[in-house]
Structure 1
């Protein structure tokens, strides 16, 4: 079946290109060619020839541009990206980038935001966190413009997550604090605020400024009067005390106690390990001095 569908795809593609090269009194040759390219792409997909299908979708996009339909051209680039996702994330990103720009040109901001987010996710899969941040930020701004607050918040959380992983702790802190403030003003989200404040506090610990950590804890308790009664607040207070005393063992006990009830995710664990390594290094310095 695969070979048969591939042959069909080639035939449809040949017919489409012949149609474009031909002369048409009605000027509908691009519409006719677009229909043939669509059939060719479908056949190549049935043959599981993803790269070939993607190439045809790009030809379809160009055809749609010739007939004056940017929306259809953008959709074709998205379809091409979906094929390339199976073989080449780099090419998928290139197609989605084209789609984003076209949707922006026709003022479809929601669609642009959606595909910026997809590009961010592809860069995340490739562990290219700098580029992931760029596209998640663009997506958040566009979603915010369209007042799609939940999606904007999800993208901002990704920006904060990757910023912290790259050591840009202050940027992550500002985002987590902003999301916590927004959550506290929303009845459906307010119980999640403690998690965002915990993330911000962990980033404060990574910065290693004892005074800033103490000030942050005070600020978070003012921001959310219920925070002082949470396990997240107790953990941050215990970690801050251990950090101030340069006591790695005390730090470990506090983490294990929290983790035994509320499992720490990989991101929090990674950052807390960084803090612990810093504490161990300080302990070694003290030992050397004595």
Structure 2
């Protein structure tokens, strides 16, 4: 590793000499572009040597230097790719630097009309905000942008995947209207695709639960609407649970609500998202117990 780091430092020094040479009067007249291209290659080689030495910040910086030269040479794709390489290194040392470089790459790919690859990098940034730098608002913003780009490129499956992430977090922020809209939209599109039809029940289930958080009567109407849209929903365990919840609302029977949820959970384990939403519904019925079981 020490040898790799020493080699990287030497390559960086060589690259810097080439950049200075290309910037001089003689360099500009005789082969300035060629010297810059050689410098970019040296920076990239230095970055790879830093990677071997696990010097991630230094590797990211070296790739950024290569990207800057590619920008001067107006080789857009090469510039964007080097920013992606830099970001990938920074993910191991500085999440903010990684986000900055991914954003620079996105700007370039978007300018080039490469929206699918730009969308994929938006997803990567969203995932960083989701798990590493916890910022739900930024996470949502990047998943939304990714979905928009994918949709524009007719990648509807990828767009829906990201929209579901948006809905998931919108619900956590209690922006139920937006979350419901997305779940209904994705469910409706899933019904039209044989391979995705079965997943519609999950989206309708989430949408109906969120409707109940807003208004129990709206929840009941939503269940009826979803059954009309997707008759097979009628026989699912999810729909049966929703109907039991509606009945417990009408009777103001918290125990019946708890028992219905307990029966469902015994077969299909409820995750944290479902648990949080169901607890909100239970509290709206006057339930004081913090448990669903």
- Deviation for aligned residue 1:267: 1.5
Root-mean-square deviation (Å): 1.4
1:227 aligned residue (219, 223, 233):
233
What does 1:111-260 correspond to in 2, within 5 Å? Answer: 111-125=117-131, 126-207=133-214, 209-260=215-266
Q: Secondary structure at the match of 2:194?
A: coil
Corresponding residue of 2:104: 98
Q: Aligned pair in 2 of structure 1 residues 245, 130: CA closer, same or farther (>3 Å)?
A: farther
Identify unmatched segments of 5+ residues in structure 2. none
Corresponding residue of 1:42: 48
* Contact 1:30 1:63 (C-alpha < 8 Å) held by counterparts: yes
Corresponding residue of 2:11: 12
The farther-off stretch of 245-254 and 36-45 is: 245-254
1:265 aligned residue (239, 259, 271):
271
Corresponding residue of 1:288: none
Q: Secondary structure at the match of 1:155?
A: helix
Q: Secondary structure at the match of 2:50?
A: helix
TM-score normalized by structure 2? Answer: 0.92
CA distance in 1, matches of 2:283, 2:93: 39
How many residues end up aligned between the 2 structures? 281
Residues 86-127 of structure 1 show CA distances to partners (whole Å, capped at 9, x for unaligned) of: 122221111111111110011111111110111111111133
Q: Secondary structure at the match of 1:28?
A: helix
CA distance in 2, matches of 1:212, 1:205: 7
Q: Secondary structure at the match of 1:22?
A: helix
CA distance in 1, matches of 2:55, 2:254: 55
CA distance in 1, matches of 2:221, 2:123: 34
- Deviation for aligned residue 1:281: 5.5
Poorly superposed stretches of 4+, deviation over 4 Å: none
* Contact 1:246 1:282 (C-alpha < 8 Å) held by counterparts: no
Q: Secondary structure at the match of 2:252?
A: coil
Corresponding residue of 1:51: 57
* Contact 2:254 2:287 (C-alpha < 8 Å) held by counterparts: no
